[in-house]
Structure 1
Amino acid sequence: MESYRCLTLREDPALKDAAAQWFHEKWGVPKEAYLECMEEYLGEQTENGWYLCLDGEKIIAGLGVIENDFHDRKDLSPNVCAVYTEEAYRGQGIAGHLLNMVVDDMKAKGISPLYLVTDHTGFYERYGWEYLCMVQGDGEPDMTRMYIHR
């Protein structure tokens, strides 16, 4: 981890376009949707931020915070979203570091709890996340797990 640089997008706004493209490639959500959220964050219209990990100039991991991560429980907000680590970098604690970073950053801003939708089990629990309930994904036939970090 010591050779990587983890930061918020506000710490290096010049990464905005590269970050939006990177998240788009990982999740298939339009780049413009990421850019819109990132611009609101950089313009201080919201504290829902974007967190990245770099190896040199290369984005190797990231996550964001948005109001709702495409589910029916609009009351459970804000949501950590788009958690991803490049395959070659997995197993080094990078995602865990970013998860702890976002929780600490948001708590420092008075924003807690945070919520997260995932179909993974056993991973997020290692970083203090607790299963909360099942939620219905927008346009999805199956229910998905919702986690909370208090």
Structure 2
Amino acid sequence: MEIINYFDVDDKIFWKEEIGKSDWGAGQYLYRLLNNNQLLDLCGNSTKVLMLVEGKTLISFCTLAEQDDVRDTSLTPWIGFVYTFPEFRGHRYLGKLLEYAKNVAASEGATHIYISTNHIGLYEKYGYSFYKLMKDDENQDSRVYKINL
């Protein structure tokens, strides 16, 4: 298994289509953003789409970006669009992506990473702590988690 960044691969069309196979609304939204070349405009020019792959099989993906659906620009970077395909769940593959994202963010000078979610109990397993409730793009409450690097 290896982690690759969508923006660094030559076969972007293939990997974009693999992301598009996710059965999750936000995964479909990420696919549309990539397809329309809008992700960097929305989330920042340094955005990465990290993909855990085994050969040509996409196992899990997430973004590491300046912005996410909570638009507080004083908080950065954010992990977003976190998804593991159903057949790979239960193996803690997400942990590999989160650890990789932590290392990338730290190498770029970040001191914290944030995640906006409505999940309770998922990110705590990986060292994240509840930070506070914040409003997302749709003015809905979102649980923001934080980890110190």
With the length of structure 1 as denominator, give the TM-score of the two structures: 0.78
> 1:14-68: CA deviations, max 9, x gaps?
242333334445323153523537779xxxx52x322111133111111111222
Q: Structure 1 residues 93 and 71, CA, compared in 2 at 3 Å: closer, same or farther?
A: same
Residue 81 of structure 1 aligns with an amino acid whose one-letter code is G
In structure 2, runs of 5+ residues without a counterpart are none
Q: Mind listing any 5+ residue stretches in structure 1 that lack a counterpart? A: none
Query: Is contact 2:67-2:77 (8 Å) kept?
Result: yes
Correspondence for 1:145 among 128, 143, 146: 143
Same amino acid, percent of matched pairs: 20
Q: CA RMSD in A?
A: 2.5
After superposition, where does 1:108-147 map in structure 2 within 5 Å? 108-140=107-139, 142-147=140-145
Structure 1 residue runs of 4+, over 4 Å off?
37-40
Q: Is 1:75 aligned to 2:74, yes or no?
A: yes
Q: Write the distance in 2 (CA, Å) between the matches of 1:146 and 1:21.
A: 29
Q: Which amino acid aligns with 1:28?
A: Q
2:15 pairs, out of 4, 16, 19, with 19
- Residues matched between the structures, number: 140
Specify the SS of the correspondent of 1:117: strand
